[in-house]
Amino acid sequence: MRANKVLMSLVVGLGLVIAAGVILIGFGLYKKSSDPGFRFFAPPEAMGAQVALPPGAEIAHMAADGNRLFLHLREKDGGQTIVVLDLDSGAVIRRLSIGREP
């Protein structure tokens, strides 16, 4: 008898998840028909951002952490720089010079 209750709860729960999904799809179709530019998940504005590298510099390594992007630049004069970017806005947060006097 207990197994039937657990199974029934599982079926009802999954039914609610399916109903919620159908409602969201219907809402999305309605919004899309009334506003062609509507998106559930708008792309970040920083997707088109550009970072100006010093002449002769190349990206040696890059890593992301949360909404931060870290670029390790190797410059032609032998210097190295770490550039920290905010992925939400595309803004340069900080430039850190490594291995040479500023």
> Is there a single domain that holds both residue 55 and residue 87?
yes
> Is there a single domain that holds both residue 54 and residue 94?
yes
> Is there a single domain that holds both residue 24 and residue 65?
no
Q: How many domains does the chain have?
A: 2
Residue 56 maps to which CATH number?
3.10.450
Tens-of-pLDDT digits for all 102 residues of the chain?
Answer: 677 898 999 999 999 999 999 999 988 888 877 777 666 665 655 456 677 888 888 999 999 888 889 999 998 888 899 999 888 777 889 998 887 565
> Is there a single domain that holds both residue 36 and residue 57?
no
pTM surpassing 0.75? no
> Is there a single domain that holds both residue 29 and residue 12?
yes
For residue 6, the enclosing domain spans 1-42
pLDDT digits (tens, 9 = 90+) for 4-29: 898 999 999 999 999 999 999 988 88
Q: How far apart are CA 93 and CA 56, in angstroms?
A: 22
Contact 39, 25 (CB under 8 A): no
pLDDT value of position 84: 93
User: Do β-strands 68-74 and 80-86 pair in parallel, antiparallel, or remain unpaired?
Assistant: antiparallel
Q: How far apart are CA 20 and CA 7, in angstroms?
A: 20
